[in-house]
Structure 1
Amino acid sequence: MPLTLFYGVPEGCSFGSIVALEWSGVQYNLCRVDMPETVSGVDYKRINAVGETPTLMLPDGRLVSESMAILGHIAAKTIDKGLGFAPGSPEDDRLKQMLAFLNTCFFNAFSPLWYAIEHPLTDEAREALRAYGIAKVEHAHAQLETLLDGRKWLVGDGKSLADAYFMGIARWNDFHKVVDRTAYPALNGLYQRLLDDPAVRFAHAIEHAEEATSAGGFLGHVTLGDMLGRLEKAA
């Protein structure tokens, strides 16, 4: 059984994992999970107990949830491709550092903006929350520009799984229209390079249910019902 990634939309956190799977070249399926209906339902919670995406089902039926864990799993399997690195190496330390920063700082900076959209608030509260979010996003962009230090990629001389995760978050700025990305030359350069990447274009098309051409090992979509059946067989 190939890998299967359960992903949610719109603008989902699963985007980076889809890009990573495309880059890895491994064979995999995708299972689209509607949000918020299906993702919070009883059936899906058999896949992910807290009702979130993404989750990766391995060939033996084991489940790996949370983007950091999924990307870590893929990284360990793609050292020969330069997407991951030998444990304990300087490159691996930098990869983990970058993923941690992206998860705790860059990702988190957008949280107030998403909350302001997704929850009922007074106009005054919404504006205050949005102002707070804008300041956080600007600060996170400035921090990442410093960490890039003029390099083309987040880790080493080529793209790594940190770049895949970065793209899934950085595109949120296009939705919220918070900062002028060109004010951060290294970050903007990275973003523009990734826009042209076939795996990024594929993940974008997948999210929007458009015709998508895989440059990796994508085998097609499967249903949640199919995957629950496989899970029972693997138990």
Structure 2
Amino acid sequence: MLTLYSMPSSGNSYKVRLLLAFLGTPYDHIGGEYGSGLTDSDAFRALNPAGKLPLLKLEDGRLIAESNAILLYLARGTRFLPDDAYEQALCHQWMFFEQNSHETSIAVRAAILTYPQRAHLRTPDRLDPLLESGNRALSIMEAQLEKTPFLTGDAPTVADISLYGYTHSAEKGGFDMQRFPAVNAWLDRIAAEPGHVPLAFVPGAA
């Protein structure tokens, strides 16, 4: 069985749990919440020297780090990753955008406002640029989702799951989501997909 090391409150980890839920794939879950010390342990650093979650351990013991790399691995051969090379490239395009332009603004601002350990960063010179760049990323999504129901066309892909991870909770970062009606409609479509689970879901939890 697969083993997923993930941080329950992290959008990056949630992406992977969400895809596994959509696929109905069973897995063992090892949680490491912010400040738990899991990623600083020698045992975990031996698995992932970068000390980051999520981390997927395959049945044969091989490991895959980085949330979007894990998504692409799990989605192969499923409806969430097209076979066509161009359509795959569109998925990659949005997933690179997610890590370079979206997560770095929306997730970072939410983390600063959410985690007590980052309270010292709650200053205008830090928060204001993140609000501006995050709104710019959401506007790019809005423009696409005004044209197509999902980011790459008519059906959900790993690109949508990747962007959903932090967009669905963007209000935690102080983003006014009423400005983005097409994004909100897209969020509803993702949440209506069979197998959808919320951020708090981890297998085996009561």
TM-score (norm 2): 0.86
Give the 3 Å change call, closer, same or farther, for CA 91–210 of structure 1 in structure 2: same
Q: Which amino acid aligns with 1:191?
A: L
Q: Which runs of 5+ in 1 are unaligned?
A: 212-235
- The equivalent position to 2:160 in structure 1, one of 154, 160, 163, is 163
Preserved CA contact (<8 Å) 2:151 2:159: yes
Matches within 5 A, 1:1-235: 2-36=1-35, 37-78=37-78, 82-86=79-83, 88=85, 90-110=86-106, 112-113=108-109, 114-115=111-112, 118-119=117-118, 121=120, 126-179=123-176, 181-197=177-193, 199-206=195-202, 211=206
Once the 2 structures are TM-superposed, how far is the Cα of residue 74 of structure 1 from its aligned partner?
A: 1.2
Cα distance, 1:11–1:190 mapped onto 2, change above 3 Å: same
Structure 1: distance between partners of 2:69 and 2:16: 10
Residue 42 to residue 122, structure 1, CA distance change in 2 (3 Å): closer
Amino acid at match of 1:137: G
Q: Secondary structure at the match of 1:52?
A: coil
1:148 and 1:87 mapped to 2: Cα distance?
A: 21
Distance verdict in 2 for CA 1:174–1:200, change over 3 Å? farther
Q: Structure 2 vs 1, CA of residues 140 and 130 (structure 1 numbering), >3 Å: closer, same or farther?
A: same
Q: Distance in 2 between matches of 1:128 and 1:210?
A: 40
Following superposition, the deviation at residue 153 of structure 1 comes to 1.1
Secondary structure of the structure 2 residue equivalent to 1:156: coil
Amino acid at match of 1:38: L
Report the counterpart of residue 225 of structure 1 in structure 2. none
Following TM superposition, by how much is the alpha carbon of 1:63 offset from its aligned partner in structure 2, in angstroms?
Answer: 0.2
Take 1:134 and 1:175, find their aligned partners in 2: how far apart are those partners? 12
Structure 2 spans left out of the alignment, 5+ residues: none
Cα drift, residue 197 of structure 1: 4.0
CA RMSD of aligned residues (A): 2.4
Q: How many correspondences in the alignment?
A: 202
User: What is the rounded CA distance, in whole Å, between the counterparts of 1:21 and 1:29 in structure 2?
Assistant: 11
Change (3 A) 1:47 1:151: same
Q: Aligned partners of 2:144 and 2:182: how far apart in 1?
A: 10
Q: Tell me the alpha carbon deviations over residues 167-209 of structure 1, each in whole angstroms, 9 at most, x when there is no partner.
A: 2111331312222x232222111112223445443543339x9
**In 2 relative to 1, CA 111–11 (structure 1 residues): closer, same or farther, beyond 3 Å?**
closer
Report 1 or 2 for greater relative contact order, CA contacts < 8 Å, sequence distance ≥ 6: 1
On the 8 A contact 1:83/1:159 being kept in 2, the answer is yes
- Give the distance between the partners of 1:191 and 1:53, measured in 2 at CA: 24
